[in-house]
Structure 1
Amino acid sequence: MNTHRVLEPTLKDILDGIQPLREDWVMRFKIIEELEDVVRSVESLRGATVEPFGSFVSNLFTRWGDLDISIVLYNGSFISSAGKKRKQNLLGDVLKALRQRGGWNRLQFIPNARVPILKFENASISCDVSIDNIQGLMKSKFLFWVNEIDRRFRDMVLLVKEWAKTHNINDPKAGSLNSYSLSLLVIFHFQTCEPAILPPLKEIYPRNVCDDLTGLRTDAERRISEICAANISSYKSDKSRAINRNTLSELFISFLAKIEDPFEQPENTARAVSAGNMIRISEAIQTTYRRLVIANQNQISPLDMLVRPRISRFIATPAGNSSYNAGHHSRTPIGTSSYMAGQRITTHSQISRSVYSPSQAQFQTHYTRQASHPNILSAQRMGSRPSSSTNQRQENQINNSTSLRYVPHSYIQGESVWRPKSDQ
């Protein structure tokens, strides 16, 4: 008997319910554009660019995920390195401009954090704005590139994030884990399972990335991306490498926890986790494991231990019947790996500008590739899937930053956008 026959379809249904839809991408791009308009009105930020990072750029965000944005200061073609005091002052200027403009909710300035942050909410999406967070952008790119090695990585990260929220262990403000730490836990698990799914990260980039972010930004980012692209290609093409064929359910229940930030030594990404919360996190892992085993043995749906009650209404699928839709809207996820179904809709055309950008050109709302992929965005807008050959060509271009062009965002006008209730 397949002990995972209950859990496997449940995990697939959870992914269908939590991964971002077209409108989730549209709303975030719209926020970026609106913030860019505000930044342009601030005299002290003349020439600055607005660039997203975090889970949005790494394509590891759920429908209710936060949006991280960096305001990158103009410093010619060189990487800027503003001091903390200047960052505090500049974010204060942005705060004043946002208040004058109006329409930005729950404004909160946190100047004395390790990284000064301006928080706000727009369209029910929580946003964190920082200054010159180039390191955060590069870390986001790395996670995006890691996903190129095996699409199960993204699925596992989304599932682990939702599971952690269900057990109240994904809130650094309350002394538990942040989402970046959870992503690193998945990386560690994929590196240590048998056979390994991911290589040691030093085989992707042998140096400390953050130390190499100096000088000309285009040169620094190009060097890093070229090295990573070559090493990832070499790893994927190694025919002597044993292939791990574990299902999502097998990987999920074998999930173990360890926290270490491999990109910025010796930073501790779990520094906000207290000793008491460490025990609670460990108990959540152990309890979930035991209950999943029992649920599989007794053919009981494990949904309640994997997703929050207010999220389960977007899933509402009986265990073992992943085709059931419970009367919900028929929705086409974008950015899903969907390797189970053998097809995939990518969002690389929309986020590749921010991931692989070699220039300081101002961030625009929507992007697509030039002649090599002229129809990828229009296919997504119509709700259809790009051809498998188009997908394959996109996946093979890990480092193609020269074939991008702007796409007008006028198609947003008049579009009916349906969104679930905010996670906040």
Structure 2
Amino acid sequence: MVSLDGATVEPFGSFVSNLFTRWGDLDISIELSNGLHISSAGKKQKQTFLGDVLKALRMKGGGSNLQFISNARVPILKFKSYRQGVSCDISINNLPGQMKSKILLWINKIDGRFRHMVLLVKEWAKAHKINNSKAGTFNSYSLSLLVIFYFQTCIPAIFPPLKDIYPGNMVDDLIGVRSDAENLIAQTCDANINRFISNRARSINRKSVAELFVEFIGKVEDPFEQPQNTARSVSAGQLKKITEAFARTHDLLTSTNQNQISLLSNMAPAHVIRCITRPYGGGYFHPTQPQVQRAIRPQLQSQRHFQNVSQGTSSNSSSSKGHTLVHRGQQIWRPKS
């Protein structure tokens, strides 16, 4: 078994970025010791180490639903803990994942609507069964990047190009002494975020989250590890399902014939709806239809198509009602880097 001397267990993902829901997975990175320096374990070593962790979990009986995804770009061991019932994804030396999570947390300082939008988009995607990379649809990180791109391109823009927050390829800069590399990234991002916030000349977008959601549309690649495509799991067979989900929801939100049941069923999965409509304070919490309609009526003419900015039309694309998606390396939209 690989030595655990000096190793640390560190969370990342939505738990660190504060974009988690009570139903989400917990992402864990086991950081192997390399003194003060960032460890450079290769994929084979990570696979071997996770295999040993898998054996230990089986022997100790610490969890169920054990699944070792060894051939993924980042090998992962998945399991569900017996004690808390939390689903966990374990990876090895995933410092890039930790830093990306922190940057998502930091940019929320620019505008708190980012967190609300990401949570809304994630629940909407789950309701339409397009938030499952194992089934050929989006992972949650890709959905967060979709929101970032939209915030960069809405009018007025809410976020700046990400190169204005951290120039260059962040993952390539994770070398040498760990504390030095992390501090440099943190200080650079903090200074640039504060500079953007304090710019009194920029126009302020004052749209509500409901209005922003109606306008929301996009698909991206990872801006912190170019040209990594975080939506590489999206399969050709699922593209039609994804585009139809966007089109169906857009039609509903811009319709004057909405009703509470159809709105809720389109915006969140059933277990979430049960939580928000349960008795609360002596009554029931129900978002009222007139409030939703007032929020979205100004956006009746909002954009309804995916713009393909790649050259020509890909044979791997699928369209519905004017929406076009391009998959597997043929990106159409991404956060401005």
Task: Report TM bin, short chain.
Answer: 0.7 to 0.9
Checking the alignment, whether the CA contact within 8 Å between 2:76 and 2:90 is kept in structure 1 is yes
Give the distance between the partners of 1:324 and 1:205, measured in 2 at CA: 49
TM-score of the pair, normalised by structure 2: 0.80
Q: Deviations over 1:30-75 (max 9, x none)?
A: xxxxxxxxxxxx7611110000111111011111001110000000
Structure 1 equivalent of residue 56 of structure 2: 97
Moved over 3 A (4+): 322-325
Per-residue deviation, 1:124: 2.5
Q: How many residues align?
A: 282
Q: How does 1:403-414 map to 2 (within 5 A)?
A: none
Pick the aligned partner of 1:51 from 10, 14, 20: 10
Name the structure 1 match of 2:240: 279
Q: Would you say the 8 A contact 2:146–2:220 is kept in 1?
A: yes
Q: Match of 1:78, SS? A: coil
CA-based RMSD? 1.9
8 Å CA contact retained: 2:278, 2:285 = no
Once the two structures are TM-superposed, the CA of residue 251 in structure 1 deviates from its matched residue by: 0.3
SS in structure 1 at match of 2:3: helix
Do the aligned partners of 1:317 and 1:324 also contact (CA within 8 Å) in 2?
no
* Structure 1: runs of 5+ lacking an equivalent: 1-41, 329-424
CA distance in 2, matches of 1:266, 1:61: 26
Give the 3 Å change call, closer, same or farther, for CA 324–240 of structure 1 in structure 2.
farther
Following superposition, the deviation at residue 310 of structure 1 comes to: 2.3
* Residue 348 of structure 1: aligned partner: none
Residue number in structure 2 paired with 1:244: 205
Structure possessing the higher relative contact order (Cα contacts under 8 Å, 6 or more residues apart)? 1
- Once the 2 structures are TM-superposed, how far is the Cα of residue 95 of structure 1 from its aligned partner? 1.5
Deviations 1:64-118 (A, max 9, x none): 0011100000000000010111111111221222222223111122222221111
Whichever residue aligns with residue 326 of structure 1, its letter is: Y
Letter in 2 for 1:290: D
Deviations 1:340-394 (A, max 9, x none): xxxxxxxxxxxxxxxxxxxxxxxxxxxxxxxxxxxxxxxxxxxxxxxxxxxxxxx
Matches within 5 A, 1:299-314: 300-301=259-260, 302-314=263-275
Aligned to 1:71: 30
Aligned match of 2:115: 154
**Take 1:207 and 1:112, find their aligned partners in 2: how far apart are those partners?**
29
CA contact (8 A) 2:8 2:32 kept: yes
Partner secondary structure for residue 108 of structure 1: strand
Picking from 112, 130, 135, the partner of 1:174 is: 135
8 Å contact kept, 2:2–2:49: no
Distance 1:45 1:151 in 2: 39
Work out the percentage of aligned pairs sharing the same amino acid: 62
Change (3 A) 1:299 1:290: closer
Point out where structure 2 has 5 or more consecutive residues left out of the alignment.
287-337
Q: Which residue identity lines up with residue 203 of structure 1 in the other structure?
A: D
Distance 1:76 1:281, change over 3 A: same
Q: How does 1:97-176 map to 2 (within 5 A)?
A: 97-122=56-81, 123-176=84-137
Partner SS, residue 311 of structure 1? helix
Tell me which amino acid in the other structure corresponds to 2:45. Answer: R
Is the contact made by 1:69 and 1:130 (CA closer than 8 Å) also made in structure 2? yes
Displacement, 1:149?
0.7
Give deviations 1:214-254, integer Å, cap 9, x for gaps. 00000000001101000000000000011100001100111
Match 2:161 to one of 186, 200, 212: 200
Distance 1:149 1:108, change over 3 A: same
Match of 2:45 among 86, 100, 107: 86
AA aligned opposite 1:291: L
The residue type paired with residue 124 of structure 2 is W
> Which residue of 2 is the match for residue 17 of structure 1?
none
Partners of 2:201 and 2:76 lie apart in 1 by 47
